[in-house]
Structure 1
Amino acid sequence: MMPRPSKFTEHQILDAAARIIANSGVPAATMSAIAHALGAPSGSIYHRFQSRDELLGRLWLGKMAAFQRGFSAALQHDDPDDAAIAASLFVPQWVRSDRTGARIAIMHRREEFVGGGWPPDMEREARRLGKELDVVLDDITGRLFGEVSPTLKRSTRFAIIDIPYAGVRPHISRGEAPPPEIDNLVRAAAIASIRATRDTYTEPTRT
C-alpha cells in the first residue's frame, strides 16, 4: 500500500521551522516541535524531508539564496558607488520584508544547521552560493577600486555587508524592524568606508 501523502507543502513545513527558530533558536526546531506547530503528526514531516538535518539545511539554503538574489540585483547599478550603496541598503530593507528569514541568515551560522551532514545536492548548492557571493564581491571590488586584491575585497565586504549587518543585528535580536534612520547611518558609513579605502590603499610592493 502506498504511504499517505503529506497534506503540508514543503513551504509550509519550512515556514513553521523558521518561526520556531526565530522565536526559540535552532535547537528548538525539532521534528516533533515543527509537526506540533503545524498541527500534524511527526511522521508527516518525513514525507517531505528525510531528516531534521535536511529540513534545516534546506531552510538555511533557501533564506541565503533569497538574500543573495536581492543583494546581487542591488549591485546591478551602472555606477559602482550607487551599486555599493544600494547593496548595503538592501540589508535593512530585506530585514523589514522578511524578519524571520533575516534572523536565520544574519543571526545564525551555517554550522548550526548542520548535524550529521547534508545530502550531496545541498552541499553543491551551498558551494554554489559561496562561489556566487565571491564572484559578485570580486566584480564590485574591481568596479569600485579599479583592481581586486584580498585587502580591497575585505574593504568592500566591510562596506556593503559588515556595516549593514552591524546596523540591523540589535534590532533583529529585539524582534523589531530597523528604524528608517538605520538606512541613513548605513549609507553614511558605507560611503565613508569606501572613501577611506580609496584615500589610504596602496598597491602591495612586488618582490
Structure 2
Amino acid sequence: MPRPRVHDLEHLLDAAEQMAVESGPAAVTVRALSEATSVSNGAIYHAFGSRAGLMGRVWLRAAQRFLDVQRAAVDDASTAGFSSEAAVEAVVAAADSPAEFLLRQPVSGRFLLTVSRQELLGSGEISEDLAGEMRRLDRVLVELFADLARSVFDRADREAVTVIRDCVVELPTALLLHGRRTPDPAVRRRLAAAVRAVLAVPLPPARDTTPTTTN
C-alpha cells in the first residue's frame, strides 16, 4: 500500500489535532479520521503504525511548533544586547511564549493542553523512534534553560537552571494555563512582573554544576 504524500500527512495531522481539541482525545480513532479525511484506514495505519503513533506525531509537531515560537521570542528579546536587563527580558519572553503560541496557533496550543505526553509515552504503543523524538525535546528545553541561566546569572548549575525553569514552566502554568483559559493582556503583564521579581532575588552560592532536567 503506498504511503500517503507529505501534504496528505499534514492534512491527517491537522484533522486529528482539530478532532482532539473539539471532541477530546478519545474521539480520535483511525476510523473517525478516515471518515473525516477520506483517507483509507490502511493508508493511515501505514503512515503512523497505530492510533498512538498518530497521536504521538500530532503531539510532536505541536510541541516543535511551540519550541520554535519560544526560541524566536528569546532570540528577539536577546537582540537588545548583552545587558542584564536584556537577559531578564529574554526569560520574560520565554515565559510568555505559551500565551503567544495559544494566540498564534490556538489549535496546536490547545492540543498540547489536552493531550498528555506522559500518557502517550506510557501507552507502550509508540515506536522507540517516535518516543525518542518526543523525549529529545527535553534536551532542547534544558539547553534553553541553561542558556538563559548563563545570561542572567552567569552560571548554569542546578540552582540557576531550576530558577529559570520555575520562571519559564511553573509560573506560566499557574498564571496563564490554569483552567486552560485564553490568556489576556493583564494576566500576561502579571506573569512578566512575577518573572522579573523572581529573577531579582540573588541566588545562593553554587553547589554543583549539573543542570536540572524536565519532567
Q: TM-score range by the shorter chain?
A: 0.7 to 0.9
**Structure 1 spans left out of the alignment, 5+ residues:** none
| Cα distance between partner residues in 1 of 2:99 and 2:13 | 23
Partner of 1:91: 98
Runs of 4+ aligned residues of structure 1 deviating over 6 Å after TM superposition are none
Q: Residue 180 of structure 1: which of 181, 185, 188 is its match?
A: 185
**Structure 2 spans left out of the alignment, 5+ residues:** 209-215
Instruction: Give deviations 1:104-133, integer Å, cap 9, x for gaps.
Output: 224432122232333233233223211111
Contact residue 92 and residue 182 of structure 1 kept, 8 A? no
Q: Residue 136 of structure 1: which of 125, 130, 144 is its match?
A: 144
| Cα distance between partner residues in 1 of 2:97 and 2:158 | 24
Partner of 2:204: 202
In the superposition, relative to structure 1, how do residues 149 and 6 fare at CA in structure 2: closer, same or farther (>3 Å)?
A: closer
Partner of 1:81: 88
Q: CA deviation at 1:171?
A: 6.0
Q: CA deviation at 1:27?
A: 2.3
Letter in 2 for 1:112: E
In the superposition, relative to structure 1, how do residues 32 and 93 fare at CA in structure 2: closer, same or farther (>3 Å)?
A: same
| Cα distance between partner residues in 2 of 1:139 and 1:125 | 22
Q: CA deviation at 1:165?
A: 2.6
Q: CA deviation at 1:137?
A: 0.7
Contact residue 53 and residue 118 of structure 1 kept, 8 A? yes
Q: CA deviation at 1:69?
A: 1.5
**RMSD in angstroms over aligned alpha carbons?**
2.4
| Cα distance between partner residues in 2 of 1:64 and 1:127 | 11
Matches within 5 A, 1:6-25: 6=4, 9-25=8-24
In the superposition, relative to structure 1, how do residues 34 and 85 fare at CA in structure 2: closer, same or farther (>3 Å)?
A: same
Deviates more, 1:67-76 or 1:114-123: 114-123
Partner of 1:189: 194
Deviates more, 1:116-125 or 1:59-68: 116-125
Q: CA deviation at 1:75?
A: 2.0
Q: CA deviation at 1:59?
A: 0.9
Contact residue 14 and residue 59 of structure 1 kept, 8 A? yes
Deviates more, 1:113-122 or 1:88-97: 113-122
Instruction: Give deviations 1:51-89, integer Å, cap 9, x for gaps.
Output: 112111111111111111221222221421121111122
Q: CA deviation at 1:5?
A: 6.1
Letter in 1 for 2:17: A
**How many aligned residue pairs are there?**
198
Deviates more, 1:72-81 or 1:187-196: 72-81
Contact residue 25 and residue 114 of structure 2 kept, 8 A? no
- TM-score, normalized by length of structure 2? 0.80
| Cα distance between partner residues in 1 of 2:4 and 2:74 | 40
Name the % identity: 25
| Cα distance between partner residues in 2 of 1:122 and 1:47 | 15
Instruction: Give deviations 1:145-193, integer Å, cap 9, x for gaps.
Output: 1212222212111112221232332463x5xx32222221111111112
Secondary structure in 1 matching 2:48: coil
| Cα distance between partner residues in 2 of 1:138 and 1:4 | 44
Partner of 1:34: 33
| Cα distance between partner residues in 1 of 2:166 and 2:106 | 22
